[in-house]
Amino acid sequence: MKKVIVGMSTCGLSAGSQKTYDRLGELLAANPGAFELKSAGCIGMCYREPLVEIRENDTRIVYGAVTPELAEKIFNEHVGGGRVLEEHVALRIEPGRELGGSEAPHQKNQVRIVLRNCGLIDPESLAEYEAAGGYRALRKALLEMKPDEIVKVVKDSGLRGRGGAGFPTGLKWSFAAAQKSDVKYVVCNADEGDPGAFMDRSVLEGDPHSVIEGMIVCGKAIGAHAGYVYCRAEYPMAIRRLTIALEAAREKGHLGTNILGSGFDFDIKIKQGAGAFVCGEETALFQSIEGKRGMPRIRPPFPAEKGLWQKPTNNNNVETYANVPWILMNGAAAYAAYGTEKSRGTKVFALAGKVKNGGLAEVPMGIPINDLVFKIGGGIKEGRAFKAVQMGGPSGGCIPASLGHTPVDFESIPATGAIMGSGGMVVMDDQTCMVEMARFFLDFTQNESCGKCTFCRVGTLRMLEILTRITQGEGRIEDIENLKTLGAQIKDASLCGLGQTAPNPVLTTIKYFGEEYEAHIKDKRCPAASCTALVDFCIDAETCTGCTVCAKNCPVNAITGERKKTHVIDTSICAKCGKCITVCTFGAVYKK
C-alpha cells in the first residue's frame, strides 16, 4: 500500500500543511484503505512546503507546494492512477537511480547524518525510529561498551560541539567522566535563539529520539543518571514531540531504571526556557534550570567540574547529541571521513534571508560558502547580486561575497572575523544596508543582554546609538573609530559569549564594508538605498505609465502628474512610507 506522508513540522504547518493533511484525511475517509496517511518532520526543503511524499516500496516521490486541491489531484492521479505529476515533483528518490525532481541539484550535495531521519519517519513513532535503526547505538553502548570506550569513539570521530564554539565533544565528555561525584548531569541545550536559525528545532520536531539516544549514551559515558533538555518555550511542537518521545522511550525501557537490563539508570526532564537569549549560554542555562534569573557566571569552574546544581555536568546542543548514535553505529572513521582535517563530519545550516531555497541543509564540513549559497541555496532571490552572509546570528559576523570561497569550518570562518555559530546563515543581497544589518543584530543583543556586565549592558547601547545615528544620516566622522574602539573593549571585558561577540556584526561590517559606513556619514547616502532617512523615492520616467495609482495612494499627496503622463514625487513632502512602491504595478517607483 502506498504511504502518503505530509511534512508537519513548524515550517510545513506555517505553509499550510494542516489543510493539506486534513484534505487527504477526508479522501482517506471516503476511500478507506486507499493509502496509509502519515506525518513526518522537516526534510529541509522549507521553501517548498507543504511537502507531500508518496512512498511505495523504496520509491519516494516528494511533491512540493501541495495545496489541498493539488493533494486531491495527486490522490486521483498518482495514488489512484499511478501517474506521477512530474511538474510538481520536488524530489524523486529511487534505489539505484540518481536523485530526481526539481530540487535534486540542490539536494544531491548534502550528506544527511543528523537529519538522517528527518522528514522520513514519523517523529511521534518510536517504532519507526527503531525501524530506521534507532536505539541500536544505545544497546551497543550499554551492553557492549565501557564508558571510556564510548568516550574514545566520540573523540576519534573528531566530533566538535555544534552549538558554535566547536569544543571537541569527546574531550568534553572525558572531563566530566573524570570527575568523582555521585551526581552528574547531562544537559541538552535546545535554547536555539539566533534569529534565522532553526536547525535544532527541526531535529527535535523531526527526530526527537536521536537526541534522547545521544543523551543516554553520554550519561553512560560520563556516569550521569539524569538529564535535562533546556528548550525554549517558543518551540511548542518540539516540546510536544520530545515529550511524546520521552514517554515512549520510558515505556519501552530505554529510559528509567535498568535500561535494557544493563543495570544503568537514566532519565530526562524537559525544562522550558522563557525566551531569554542569554540562557543559551551554559552557565546562565544552568541558573535558569535551577529556577533563578538566567545570568552567566565566570568560568572556571567549568561545567564539567561544577555545573548544574554545582555538580559535574556535560552540556551539548541538540545537533551534537543527534550525531552520537550514528557515530556509534557507523564508527568513528566513517564520521571522520567527512569534513576537513580539524573539522570532521557534517554540519546542518539554516539558510535564510535573500537566498532562493531557504531551508535546512546538511553538508560536509569545509564546503565553500558559495556552494551553500548557490549550489544548495539556489542563488539569490530575484537574481540580485550576492553581497554577504551573516554567520552565527547576532554573535557572528559578516562575510562578504568576495570571501565566498571560504570553506565552512571551525578554522576558516573565525579567520574572517565571523564565527561558525550554530548554523544560522543569513544571506544578503545588494539591497541590504550593512550598517542597518549591524544595527539590527546589535539591537537584538542589546535587548537580550542579561544586564550584568557594564560593557555589554551600557556599551552595546552606546554602539547602537551611534549606528542608529549613522543610519539616520547624523553620523560623525569619529563614529567609525569610536565603534571600533568600544567594540573591541566590549569584546575584551565581558563575562560571557553574548557580550564577547555582540560587537562582531558591527566590527566585521566595518572591516568589509567600511565604505558603506563612510557613505552614510560623509555623503549622507545609503548605497543600498535601504536607510529611509537617507533615500529619496523617485519615479522612473521611462517605466511610468501615468496610471495615477501611486498618486491616489499617497497619504501625504506628494505625488503629482496627469493621467497617462509621467508622475513626479515631491521629495520635500514625501514621508518615505513606501506605499507607492507597493502599489505600482510597473515597478516604476524606486529608491535612490
In the bound complex, what is the minimum distance in angstroms from residue 202's beta carbon to another protein? Answer: 27
In the bound complex, what is the minimum distance in angstroms from residue 491's beta carbon to another protein? Answer: 7
340 touches another protein (CB under 8 A): no
Question: For another protein, which residue of 31, 257, 447, 543 counts as binding (CB under 8 A)?
Answer: 447
Residues paired with residue 229 on neighbouring β-strands, in sequence order: 188, 270
In the bound complex, what is the minimum distance in angstroms from residue 450's beta carbon to another protein? Answer: 6
Q: How far apart are CA 253 and CA 558, in angstroms?
A: 71
Residue with cell 554545582: 310
Single out the segment in contact with another protein by CB under 8 A; choices: 13-21, 89-97, 159-167, 297-305: 297-305
Burial of 552 (0-12, 13-18, 19+ CB in 10 A): exposed
Q: How far apart are CA 145 and CA 143, in angstroms?
A: 6
Three-state DSSP state, 591: strand
In the bound complex, what is the minimum distance in angstroms from residue 355's beta carbon to another protein? Answer: 30
In the bound complex, what is the minimum distance in angstroms from residue 413's beta carbon to another protein? Answer: 17
Who contacts 82 (Cβ-Cβ below 8 Å, separation ≥6)?
none
Q: How far apart are CA 302 and CA 319, in angstroms?
A: 21
Q: Which is nearer to another protein, 266 or 455 (CB)?
A: 455
Instruction: Return the C-alpha cell found at 391.
Output: 554567520
76 touches another protein (CB under 8 A): no
Task: Quote the Cα angle for 74-80-81, to 5°.
Answer: 90
Instruction: Return the C-alpha cell found at 265.
Output: 539508570
Question: For another protein, which residue of 83, 293, 476, 564 counts as binding (CB under 8 A)?
Answer: 293
416 touches another protein (CB under 8 A): no
- Measured CA to CA in angstroms, residue 490 lies from 147, 295, 451 at distances of 41, 17, 13
Residue 558 has, within 13 A of its CA and on its CB side, a CA count of 19
Q: Which is nearer to another protein, 5 or 279 (CB)?
A: 279
395 touches another protein (CB under 8 A): no
Q: Which is nearer to another protein, 252 or 457 (CB)?
A: 457
Single out the segment in contact with another protein by CB under 8 A; choices: 71-79, 92-100, 293-301, 408-416: 293-301
Question: For another protein, which residue of 200, 319, 429, 448 counts as binding (CB under 8 A)?
Answer: 448
Is residue 147 reached through a cis peptide bond, with omega within 30 degrees of 0 on the bond before it? no
SS (H, E, C) 96-165: CCCCECCCHHHHCCCCCCCCCCCCCCCCCCHHHHHHCCCCHHHHHHHHCCCHHHHHHHHHHHCCECCCCC
Question: For another protein, which residue of 32, 81, 261, 300 counts as binding (CB under 8 A)?
Answer: 300
Q: How far apart are CA 190 and CA 317, in angstroms?
A: 6
Question: For another protein, which residue of 58, 81, 95, 298 counts as binding (CB under 8 A)?
Answer: 298
- Measured CA to CA in angstroms, residue 451 lies from 48, 283, 300, 364 at distances of 41, 15, 21, 38
Residue 223 φ/ψ region, left for φ over 0, alpha for ψ in the -120 to 50 degree band, beta for the rest? left
582 touches another protein (CB under 8 A): no
Q: Which is nearer to another protein, 199 or 413 (CB)?
A: 413
Q: Which is nearer to another protein, 158 or 296 (CB)?
A: 296
* Residue whose C-alpha is closest to residue 197's, from 437, 424, 427, 45: 424
Question: For another protein, which residue of 25, 82, 105, 451 counts as binding (CB under 8 A)?
Answer: 451
Q: Which is nearer to another protein, 293 or 565 (CB)?
A: 293
Single out the segment in contact with another protein by CB under 8 A; choices: 194-202, 252-260, 349-357, 444-452: 444-452
Is residue 50 reached through a cis peptide bond, with omega within 30 degrees of 0 on the bond before it? yes
| Site size for another protein (CB under 8 A) | 32
Q: Which is nearer to another protein, 225 or 297 (CB)?
A: 297
Q: Which is nearer to another protein, 376 or 418 (CB)?
A: 418
What residues from 455 to 514 belong to the interface with another protein (CB under 8 A)? 455, 457-462, 465, 486, 489, 491-495, 500
In the bound complex, what is the minimum distance in angstroms from residue 194's beta carbon to another protein? Answer: 17
Count of CB atoms situated within 10 Å of the CB of 244: 16
Who contacts 32 (Cβ-Cβ below 8 Å, separation ≥6)?
none
449 touches another protein (CB under 8 A): yes
Q: Which is nearer to another protein, 66 or 435 (CB)?
A: 435
Instruction: Return the C-alpha cell found at 74.
Output: 495527486
Q: Which is nearer to another protein, 495 or 544 (CB)?
A: 495
Q: Which is nearer to another protein, 410 or 455 (CB)?
A: 455
- x-or-dash pattern for another protein, window 246-285, by CB under 8 A? ------------------------------x-x-------
310 touches another protein (CB under 8 A): no
Single out the segment in contact with another protein by CB under 8 A; choices: 103-111, 172-180, 244-252, 441-449: 441-449
Q: Which is nearer to another protein, 234 or 371 (CB)?
A: 234
- Measured CA to CA in angstroms, residue 405 lies from 372, 381, 413 at distances of 10, 20, 11
Q: Which is nearer to another protein, 202 or 500 (CB)?
A: 500
Query: Is 588:543 a contact under the CB 8 Å cutoff?
Result: yes
Q: Which is nearer to another protein, 224 or 453 (CB)?
A: 453
40 touches another protein (CB under 8 A): no
Annotate 244-289 with DSSP letters as a single string.
HHHHHHHHHTSSBSSGGGSS--BEEEEEEE-S-GGGGSHHHHHHHH
567 touches another protein (CB under 8 A): no
In the bound complex, what is the minimum distance in angstroms from residue 449's beta carbon to another protein? Answer: 4
In the bound complex, what is the minimum distance in angstroms from residue 310's beta carbon to another protein? Answer: 11
Residue ranges in contact with another protein by CB under 8 A: 276, 278, 293, 295, 297-298, 300, 446-455, 457-462, 465, 486, 489, 491-495, 500
